[in-house]
Amino acid sequence: MKIKDIKVFICSPGRNFVTVKIITENGTYGIGDATLNGREMAVVAYLQEHIAPCLIGKDAQQIEDIWQYLYKGAYWRKGPVTMAAIGAIDTALWDIKGKQANLPVYQLLGGRSRSGVTVYGHANGETIEEVLTNLGTMIDEGYKAVRLQCSIPNVKGTYGTMEGKKNYYELQGNRPLPPEQEWSTSKYMNFVPELFKQARERFGFDIGLCHDVHSRLTPIEAARLGKLLEPYNLLFLEDAVTSENPEGYQIVREHTVVPLAVGEIFTTVWDAKVLIEKQWIDYIRTAITHGGGITPLKKLADFAAMYHIRTAPHGAPDLSPICFMAHMHFNLWAPNFGIQEFIGFGTPELNDVFKYDVELKEGLLYMQDKPGLGVDFDEEAAKKYPYKRSYLPVSRLEDGTLWNW
């Protein structure tokens, strides 16, 4: 089954998404997500100029060999641009193989390990009261776990809040230049424990609560935050420290038992290797798109399972419904699946372009069996939403020092 054509689309139904479509000589096609927030066009060029010409005429069934060809054959390995491009190709090939076998992709991975996919939603707000109101709504909707993010008093712009926008897509799709946000570790550290104290006082301990630090703390600061949050029994604390130096997590681990989740910016298993082998983390967050596809993510999950580590795939608004559906199959299969981040079913514009069918019931996602990934991309609809350059914010300390956003 030879690859006849590879198309790359970039559209912006609210925010930018990069989509790959691989078409075989008999007309079967598969799709993949290649979105890299704020650097989308780099991945488009990598796909169009450097990957597509090499794959025309190759056998679409040889998923593993094509992955090795794209990873090792590039010479320059790893990195977000390369691996998002490879991830989209790999995902599209699994979609094709499922369609060819007339099976949902999870059946090709090893079948179901569970009936539904447990998710955690997002409750955020400008004040603790607003966050708790949103948390209460999600508990009423049946969520088993919720991530809490709140603006910090006297700090301009805080990660994870809407800044007055109606949804994440409006927020992320309208940044013609990188917005500058302020950060104060001391104001943050003095404030966050109160958020979780009040959440537990009002809603008890049955609901899973997590929090994304977004790599803003030093290891000893993260250790202190972990200790401060221990009474509130978090499901996990995410990205407590930047992960370029994995030994930073050794320091956090020595001081606190709060479960740690890392990995949304990882692009290969090598980024996670030390953290996993040393058991310095509890959840690995790498997404199929940014992690190079289903092929390497299956290997990463099995490696993590040897060290008691669960998967908790990244599920932010900058991962398209194609990645979301690939995660559905991955999560139904993975024996060490932990939980899936879920920010809802998107907007009318998003669903105008991406077609998929998933149901949320009592905090779990369910999908109907369809051949392949069970998601489609409407090329004509996508034309209505042209690409619009948009950036992630940058963060500065109150004295102007550039900091981790």
Question: For residues 265 and 325, what is the distance between their CA atoms, to the nearest angstrom?
Answer: 19
Q: Does 91 bind ligand CS2 (CB under 6 A)?
A: no
Question: What is the per-residue DSSP string for 341-352?
Answer: E---S--HHHHH
If you ran DSSP here, which 8-state letter would residue 278 be given?
A: T
Nearest partner of 189 among 160, 225, 159, judged by Cα: 225
Q: Chain centroid to CA 71: how far?
A: 21
Nearer to ligand CS2, 52 or 261 (CB): 261
Q: Closest approach of Cβ 213 to ligand CS2, in Å?
A: 10
Nearer to ligand CS2, 99 or 122 (CB): 122
Nearer to ligand CS2, 24 or 158 (CB): 158
Question: For residues 265 and 243, what is the distance between their CA atoms, to the nearest angstrom?
Answer: 9
Q: Does 212 bind Mg ion (CB under 5 A)?
A: yes
Nearer to ligand CS2, 292 or 374 (CB): 292
Q: Does 214 bind ligand CS2 (CB under 6 A)?
A: yes
Residue spans of beta strands (DSSP E) within 267-378? 283-284, 310-311, 340-341, 354-356, 358-361, 364-367, 375-377
| CA distance to 230, 254, 266, per residue, from 80 (Å) | 33, 30, 8
Q: Does 376 bind ligand CS2 (CB under 6 A)?
A: no
Residues 6+ apart with CB under 8 A from 205: 233
Quick one: which of 392, 396, 403, 404 contacts ligand CS2 (CB under 6 A)? 392
Nearer to Mg ion, 69 or 391 (CB): 391
Q: Does 349 bind Mg ion (CB under 5 A)?
A: no
Q: Chain centroid to CA 189: how far?
A: 25
Q: Closest approach of Cβ 147 to Mg ion, in Å?
A: 9
Quick one: which of 40, 90, 264, 376 contacts ligand CS2 (CB under 6 A)? 264
Interacting partner of 103 out of ligand CS2, Mg ion, none (Cβ under 5 to 8 A depending on kind): none
| 3 state DSSP class of 362 | coil
Interacting partner of 392 out of Mg ion, ligand CS2, none (Cβ under 5 to 8 A depending on kind): ligand CS2
Q: Does 37 bind ligand CS2 (CB under 6 A)?
A: yes
Quick one: which of 90, 221, 341, 376 contacts ligand CS2 (CB under 6 A)? 341
Nearer to ligand CS2, 40 or 212 (CB): 212
Q: Which residues participate in catalysis according to the annotation?
A: 159, 214
Residues 6+ apart with CB under 8 A from 47: 6, 8, 18, 20, 34, 85, 88, 89
If you ran DSSP here, which 8-state letter would residue 12 be given?
A: -
The piece of 10-18, 60-68, 312-320, 365-373 that touches ligand CS2 (CB under 6 A) is 312-320
Q: Residue 62: count other Cβ atoms within 10 Å of its Cβ.
A: 13
Interacting partner of 318 out of Mg ion, ligand CS2, none (Cβ under 5 to 8 A depending on kind): ligand CS2
Q: Is the separation of the CB atoms in 202 and 134 below 8 Å?
A: no
The piece of 97-105, 148-156, 190-198, 310-318 that touches ligand CS2 (CB under 6 A) is 310-318
Q: Closest approach of Cβ 374 to Mg ion, in Å?
A: 26
Nearest partner of 288 among 242, 240, 321, 310, judged by Cα: 321
The piece of 13-21, 184-192, 264-272, 299-307 that touches Mg ion (CB under 5 A) is 264-272
Binding site for ligand CS2 (CB under 6 A): 37, 212, 214, 264, 314, 316, 318, 341, 392
Binding site for Mg ion (CB under 5 A): 212, 264
